[in-house]
């Protein structure tokens, strides 16, 4: 009887789907809450949340009679519409931008703009609002902004790519519009290579379960989504900063297509050349970077859409001698192309198909052996350099096809997907002993060529249980060519209370890519570049993790606590050499050992946003991380036990002020027991042998830093109206002397000293952004 | 906020930044606070000699402070000898920038030091006892040149290159060329004795496993000298390989010395036969 009643009720239910858009520029609006309720009767309302493309599917709506549809999203006026019957075709919801008191609508929408912990239980979401309220380091930087997550830890001030929960960068792909972007930064890693002007959001997936199942990596992912181009009119935005300028142009093509084109070019080379010509600096820096991104989006009706995103960047350092002979050339860059197609699958499903290709190339050479003699400023003798001291080139590429179906029934949400990924790594670099520029600090000669592919299928289902409990469970199966077929399950049990929820989960993931980076080398703190190569022999690197999470929101304060424990197996790591700090940052993983690692920690984050323009975002993280290579277990050099971050921003009128404070315990280092002199036998030459204790059993001095920023938006009437936003920021305001390492030095007076390798000193930055 | 108010906030910020900038940008070096009673010990037995020398240094103290006081004995095959005599420091070391106060001790031995033989050392230092052992390597075998070698005077300024062929065992960690009994023949027929460093730098190990080339500096006048190989064991080699600016984490390779607050090496050097070389 009960079953018959349920069947009848099910048959009487309808599914509402559609897309939520901004009414001005028609951009999709994510995280909008859509509620469908019967106008008459006692049928329970059904609700859903729009995804990153603004699409929603709400099953379980009353199938007979009139319904009222309400849509709410932060920053928009509520949208309400009544229908005689639930529409069978997808509806289009246009939300009108409106300043809304943030606290007042908190209960209605799935997230708060600028609040990274409110939008996803699986991730931290950095939206464009938060991106611009953080103090700029050189310029607004999307990768640096991800460090607001307690799961993300910056290994040094010089690298913008964070490490996630004790993992390293090779386990955390940076995805741009769904395709992996290799080495997504410039200036050795200091500045991310993605134009912040076009970023809609960056999502930090800390784990391998939930949304992370579709990634298949060891340590989550950083997903960067660019926005669609404007659909109403041609717009232009950009910035002029200390190091580079950015420009984006976007607009509609016809009624259903939009485009977005943006680029950036540094003028470090031109600026330093001008300073050299003026006598302000002795040598100019012949270095440049540039990047270009384009995106075209076609709205095909309803939830159907097609977007194509292309990206290309390049960097180059070209040194010439006095006769203009090119003596040092370092060129590298990457390109990426992704295609995304979305369609409706039946009444309740959405299918997403992605195709992506990404490619990184590099080309290095250095010449030596030449000489020049100058008299009175004139070159009177010149021997061109002909000895090749450094040479090499490399390619790595990834091609990926991904099909994903999301199916919503009355109670359950089912996700299934299939992926095929091909990877090529081909790197060959060599240098002679005479190549003094490197001195082994950054890389050692490598010859690596390996290609591989991977097939994967995954599925998960989310089912609400009784009394506030719900569960998610799934499995991912990977076949790694010539290696293994692996199984990666995921299970989660969660409970939702009135103002809080909690969850416990377990998951596993695999990845068959190894990195050339040796994080124990001091040079790794200054150079974020990585070369990846498929693992050629089993076993496949594996991550197993358990997490417990709690999240609550009261009186505008939102708190999230996550505890995790994870083990990393079958990593490829170098054996600890005599003095790991002096090793090359980029080595040869084919020579490395099968190793393991572990990490456990507790992450706490909190946010508070007032309706008077004041907001606070903070986090504290405690963790323990270790690596084991052979019989030796050690704490990796990049890890800090404690990290506390506090960011505040205050907006008043057109101005906004922001500050960010970081307090962190010191990174590990090897203590010194004795510094013993040794004489070279038979000669008067002597040197020092610093004898240390257990590897990384000591700690560097604590880390403290305060960044501040200011920006002010002014309306102008130029080019038909727009705004200009001058900004200024200071990194490390009090020039607190943070360090990344140290070494022993004996001074001329005979004193033996500890000389520190500094982190970022105080540096002011300024620039101006504009939008028309 | 109105622009004027905005600038009112910006002014103190700028002043704060400017004042902070004057304090320097980076953390200054710290003096390393290390135990001043640590003793560095260097013992290099020389095959063929009937004495052993021990260099003891307080490396973490100023040079004007008292040198370390320690008691040590050397144990050979069937005998024990105490380091009871104090020698001039230059008998142990000729480095000019040696850190800390040092003492050179000598032990008179009942027999010559022999290659391939094992020796042990025991002693006490300010922070505790120490001990160690070293097995001297077998002597390297010089194959070429033979007993003598005649090189022509070159018309052009340039090093004399002397190819050497040899055979060494795995027990040799460092193989050096060594020049001794060097004389320059003057125009008046007399001979002037030369320090070996006038003929070249012999501190870099020979790298070939079976052969290598030795460079002898060009002199305007004819020369004669003896050339031989020196084989040194792995304790010294391990120690020297770890000179640098970054601390060597434990576990350390063997240095031949182990003890409380005593660090250094205990090893031996064994020469090959010598070849007489004439440059004329």
pLDDT tens per residue across span B101-120: 999 999 999 999 999 999 99
Q: What is the pLDDT of residue A285?
A: 85
Respond yes or no on whether the N-terminal peptide bond of residue A539 is cis (omega within 30° of 0): yes
Helix/strand/coil for A592: coil
Considering only A175-189, A261-275, A428-442, which range has the smallest mean pLDDT?
A428-442
Write the pLDDT tens digit of every residue in A671-722. 999 999 999 998 888 899 999 999 999 999 999 999 999 999 999 988 888 8
Q: What is the pLDDT of residue A446?
A: 86
Q: What is the pLDDT of residue A563?
A: 97
Q: Above pLDDT 70, what percent of chain A?
A: 94
Residues in chain B: 280
CB contact under 8 A, A762 and B20: yes
* Chain B nearest CA to A545, separation (Å): 31
* Chain A nearest CA to B105, separation (Å): 17
List residues bridging with A600 in a β-sheet.
A565, A624
Write the pLDDT tens digit of every residue in A441-484. 677 788 999 999 999 999 999 998 988 999 999 999 999 999 99
A675 touches chain B (CB under 8 A): yes
Contacts of B93 in chain A (CB under 8 A): 679, 686
Of A581, A746, A758, the CB nearest to B26: A758
CB contact under 8 A, B42 and A678: yes
Q: What is the pLDDT of residue A365?
A: 87
Interface of B with A in 10-39 (CB under 8 A): 10, 13, 16-17, 20-21, 23-32, 34-35, 38
B232 touches chain A (CB under 8 A): yes
Of A652, A679, A681, the CB nearest to B269: A681
* Chain A nearest CA to B194, separation (Å): 15
Looking at the predicted structure, is the pLDDT value of residue B187 above 50?
A: yes
User: Where is pLDDT greater, at A608 or B18?
Assistant: A608
Write the pLDDT tens digit of every residue in B236-274. 999 999 998 999 999 999 999 999 999 999 999 999 999
Over residues A330-335, mean pLDDT? 93
CB contact under 8 A, A737 and B16: no
Write the pLDDT tens digit of every residue in B50-106. 999 999 999 999 888 999 999 999 999 999 999 998 998 888 987 677 888 999 999
> What pTM was computed for the model?
0.86
Looking at the predicted structure, is the pLDDT value of residue B11 above 60?
A: no
Contacts of B9 in chain A (CB under 8 A): 657, 710
Contacts of A744 (CB under 8 A, 6+ apart): A672, A675, A688, A690, A752, A753, A754, A755, B32, B245, B246, B247
Find the residue in B nearest to A751 (Cα): B31
| Cβ atoms of residues A498 and A465 within 8 Å | no
Over residues A364-382, mean pLDDT? 83
Helices (H), A100-163: 128-133, 142-145
| Token duo for residue B134 | 């070293």
* Three-class SS of B9-73: HHHHHHHHHHHHHCCCCCCCCEECCCCCCCEEEEEEEECCCCEEEEEEECCCCCCCCCCCCCEEE
* Chain A nearest CA to B167, separation (Å): 21
Count chain A–chain B contacts defined by CB atoms under 8 A: 204
Interface of A with B in 718-747 (CB under 8 A): 728, 730, 733-735, 737-739, 743-746
Interface of B with A in 36-55 (CB under 8 A): 38, 40, 42, 44
Q: Above pLDDT 90, what percent of chain B?
A: 65
CB contact under 8 A, A685 and B203: yes
* Chain B nearest CA to A760, separation (Å): 8
Q: What is the pLDDT of residue A58?
A: 85
* Chain A nearest CA to B148, separation (Å): 23
Considering only A95-99, A269-273, A462-466, which range has the smallest mean pLDDT?
A95-99
Looking at the predicted structure, is the pLDDT value of residue A433 above 80?
A: no
CB contact under 8 A, B246 and A744: yes
CA dist A261 → A182, A188, A230, A374 (Å): 21, 25, 11, 49
A208 touches chain B (CB under 8 A): no
Looking at the predicted structure, is the pLDDT value of residue A510 above 90?
A: yes
Compute φ and ψ for A561, nearest 5 degrees.
-130, 130
CB contact under 8 A, B57 and A582: no
E strand segments, A653-721: 655-664, 668-669, 672-679, 686-694, 698-699, 703-712, 714-716
Q: What is the pLDDT of residue A42?
A: 66
Q: Looking up tokens 């953390």, which residue turns up?
A: B27
What is the average pLDDT value for chain A, to the nearest integer?
88
Q: What is the pLDDT of residue A410?
A: 74
Interface of B with A in 74-133 (CB under 8 A): 93-100
Contacts of A700 in chain B (CB under 8 A): none
CA dist A311 → A91, A241, A397 (Å): 33, 21, 14
**Can you tell me the distance from the alpha carbon of A164 to that of A173, in angstroms, rounded to the nearest whole number?**
11
| Token duo for residue A618 | 């903070």
Q: Which helix (H) or strand (E) holds B236?
A: helix B234-241
CB contact under 8 A, A744 and B98: no
Of B201, B240, B250, the CB nearest to A692: B250
List residues bridging with A200 in a β-sheet.
none
Kind of pairing between the strands at B262-271 and B39-46: parallel
Q: What is the pLDDT of residue A116?
A: 73
* Nearest one of A549, A570, A552, A571 to A561, comparing CA atoms: A549
| Cβ atoms of residues A312 and A291 within 8 Å | yes
Contacts of A682 in chain B (CB under 8 A): 176, 178, 196, 202-203, 230
Looking at the predicted structure, is the pLDDT value of residue B136 above 60?
A: yes
Q: What is the pLDDT of residue B66?
A: 93
Q: What is the pLDDT of residue A112?
A: 61
CB contact under 8 A, A677 and B95: yes
Contacts of A760 in chain B (CB under 8 A): none
User: Where is pLDDT greater, at A28 or A475?
Assistant: A475
Of B25, B98, B197, the CB nearest to A686: B98
B62 touches chain A (CB under 8 A): yes
Looking at the predicted structure, is the pLDDT value of residue B42 above 80?
A: yes
Q: What is the pLDDT of residue A748?
A: 65
Highest mean pLDDT among A5-19, A568-582, B265-279: B265-279
Return the number of other C-beta atoms located less than 10 Å from residue A7's C-beta.
10
CA dist A771 → A17, A285, A712, A722 (Å): 34, 31, 13, 5
Contacts of B27 in chain A (CB under 8 A): 701, 737-739, 756, 758
A3 touches chain B (CB under 8 A): no
**Can you tell me the distance from the alpha carbon of A458 to that of A694, in angstroms, rounded to the nearest whole number?**
44
B186 touches chain A (CB under 8 A): no
Q: What is the pLDDT of residue A646?
A: 94
Looking at the predicted structure, is the pLDDT value of residue A1 above 50?
A: no
* Chain A nearest CA to B185, separation (Å): 24
Contacts of A652 in chain B (CB under 8 A): 1
Interface of B with A in 135-164 (CB under 8 A): none
Find the residue in B nearest to A764 (Cα): B17
Count of alpha carbons within 13 Å of A133, Cβ hemisphere only?
Answer: 25
Q: Which helix (H) or strand (E) holds B82?
A: strand B79-82
| Token duo for residue B172 | 């040799």
């Amino acid at each position: 009887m009960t079953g018959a009643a349920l069947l009848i009720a099910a048959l009487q239910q309808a599914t509402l789907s559609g897309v939520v858009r901004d009414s001005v520029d028609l951009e999709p609006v994510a995280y909008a809450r859509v509620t469908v309720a019967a106008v008459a009767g006692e049928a329970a309302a059904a609700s859903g949340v729009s995804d990153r493309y603004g699409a929603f599917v709400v099953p379980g709506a009353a199938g007979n009679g009139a319904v009222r549809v309400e849509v709410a999203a932060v920053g928009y006026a509520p949208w309400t519409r009544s229908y005689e019957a639930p529409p069978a075709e997808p509806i289009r919801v246009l939300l009108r931008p409106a300043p809304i008191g943030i606290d007042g609508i908190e209960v209605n929408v799935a997230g708060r703009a600028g609040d990274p912990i409110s939008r996803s239980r699986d991730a931290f979401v950095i939206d464009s609002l938060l991106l611009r309220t953080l103090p700029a380091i050189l310029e607004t930087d999307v990768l640096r902004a991800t460090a607001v997550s307690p799961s993300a830890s910056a290994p040094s001030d010089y690298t913008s790519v964070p490490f996630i929960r004790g993992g390293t960068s090779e386990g955390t792909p940076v995805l741009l519009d769904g395709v992996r972007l290799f080495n997504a930064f410039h200036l050795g890693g200091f500045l991310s290579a993605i134009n912040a002007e076009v970023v809609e959001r960056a999502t930090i997936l800390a784990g391998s379960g939930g949304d992370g199942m579709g990634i298949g990596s060891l340590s989550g992912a950083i997903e960067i989504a660019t926005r669609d181009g404007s659909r109403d009119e041609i717009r232009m935005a950009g910035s002029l900063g200390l190091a580079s300028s950015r420009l984006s142009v976007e607009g509609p093509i016809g009624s259903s297509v939009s485009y977005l084109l943006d680029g950036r070019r540094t003028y470090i080379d031109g600026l330093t050349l001008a300073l050299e010509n003026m006598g302000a600096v002795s040598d100019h820096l012949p270095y440049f970077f540039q990047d270009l991104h384009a995106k075209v989006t076609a709205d095909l009706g309803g939830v159907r859409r097609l977007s194509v995103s292309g990206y290309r960047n390049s960097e180059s350092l070209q040194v010439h001698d006095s006769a203009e002979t090119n003596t040092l050339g370092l060129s590298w860059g990457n390109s990426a192309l992704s295609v995304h197609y979305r369609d409706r699958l039946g009444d309740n499903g959405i299918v997403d198909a992605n195709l992506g290709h990404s490619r990184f190339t590099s080309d290095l050479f250095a010449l030596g052996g030449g000489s020049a003699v100058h008299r009175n400023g004139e070159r009177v003798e010149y021997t061109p350099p002909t000895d090749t001291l450094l040479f090499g080139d490399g390619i790595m590429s990834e091609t990926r096809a991904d099909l994903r179906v999301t199916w919503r029934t009355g109670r359950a949400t089912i996700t299934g997907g299939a992926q095929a990924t091909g990877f090529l790594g081909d790197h060959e670099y060599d240098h002679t002993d005479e190549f003094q520029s490197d001195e082994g600090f950054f890389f050692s000669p490598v010859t690596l060529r390996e290609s591989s592919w991977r097939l994967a299928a995954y599925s998960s289902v989310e089912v609400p249980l009784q009394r506030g409990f719900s569960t998610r469970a799934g499995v991912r199966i990977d076949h790694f060519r010539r290696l293994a077929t692996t199984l990666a399950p995921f299970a989660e049990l969660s409970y939702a209370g009135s103002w809080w929820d909690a969850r416990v989960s377990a998951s596993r993931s695999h990845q068959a890519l190894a990195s050339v980076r040796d994080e124990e080398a001091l040079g790794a703190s200054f150079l974020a570049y990585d070369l990846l190569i498929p693992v050629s022999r089993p076993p496949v690197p594996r991550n197993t993790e358990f997490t417990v999470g709690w999240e609550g929101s009261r009186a505008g304060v939102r708190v999230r606590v996550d505890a995790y424990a994870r083990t990393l197996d079958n990593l490829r790591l170098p054996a600890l050499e005599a003095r790991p700090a002096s090793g090359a940052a980029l080595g040869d993983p084919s020579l490395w050992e099968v190793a393991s690692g572990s990490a456990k920690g507790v992450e706490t984050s909190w946010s508070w946003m007032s309706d008077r323009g004041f907001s606070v975002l903070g986090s504290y993280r405690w963790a323990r991380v270790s690596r084991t290579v052979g019989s030796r277990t050690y704490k990796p050099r990049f890890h800090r036990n404690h990290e506390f971050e506090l960011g505040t921003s205050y907006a008043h009128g057109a101005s906004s002020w922001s500050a960010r404070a970081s307090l962190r315990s010191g990174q590990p280092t090897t203590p010194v027991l004795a510094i013993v002199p040794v004489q070279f036998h038979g000669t008067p030459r002597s040197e020092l042998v610093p004898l240390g204790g257990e590897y990384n059993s000591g700690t560097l001095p604590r880390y403290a830093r305060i960044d501040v920023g200011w920006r002010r938006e002014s309306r102008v009437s130029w080019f038909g109206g727009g705004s200009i936003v001058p900004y200024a920021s200071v990194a490390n305001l009090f020039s607190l002397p943070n360090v990344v390492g140290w070494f022993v030095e004996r001074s001329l007076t005979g004193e033996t000293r500890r000389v520190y390798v500094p982190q970022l000193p105080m540096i002011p930055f300024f620039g101006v952004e504009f939008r028309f | 906020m109105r622009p004027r108010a905005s600038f009112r906030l910006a002014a103190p910020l700028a002043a704060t930044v400017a004042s902070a900038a004057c304090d320097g940008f980076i953390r200054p070096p710290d003096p390393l606070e290390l135990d001043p009673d640590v003793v560095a010990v260097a013992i290099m037995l020389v095959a063929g000699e009937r004495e052993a020398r021990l260099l003891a240094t307080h490396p973490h103290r100023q040079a004007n402070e008292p040198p370390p006081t320690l008691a040590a004995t050397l144990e050979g095959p069937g005998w024990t000898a105490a380091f009871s005599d104090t020698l001039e420091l230059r008998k142990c070391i000729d480095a000019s920038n040696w850190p800390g106060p040092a003492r050179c001790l000598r032990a008179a031995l009942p027999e010559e030091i022999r290659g391939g033989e094992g020796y042990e050392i025991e002693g006490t230092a300010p922070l505790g006892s120490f001990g160690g052992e070293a097995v001297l390597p077998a002597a390297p075998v010089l194959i070429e040149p033979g007993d003598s070698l005649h090189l022509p005077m070159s018309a052009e300024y340039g090093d004399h290159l002397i190819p050497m062929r040899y055979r060494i065992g795995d027990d040799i960690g460092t193989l050096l060329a060594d020049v001794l009994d060097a004389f320059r023949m003057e125009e008046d027929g007399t001979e002037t004795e030369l320090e070996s460093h006038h003929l070249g730098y012999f501190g870099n190990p020979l790298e070939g496993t079976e052969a290598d080339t030795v460079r002898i500096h060009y002199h305007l006048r004819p020369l004669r000298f003896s050339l031989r190989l020196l084989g040194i064991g792995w304790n010294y080699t391990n120690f020297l390989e770890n000179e640098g600016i970054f601390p060597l984490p434990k576990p350390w390779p063997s240095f031949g010395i182990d003890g409380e607050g005593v660090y250094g090496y205990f090893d031996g050097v064994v020469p090959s036969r010598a070849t007489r070389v004439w440059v004329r």
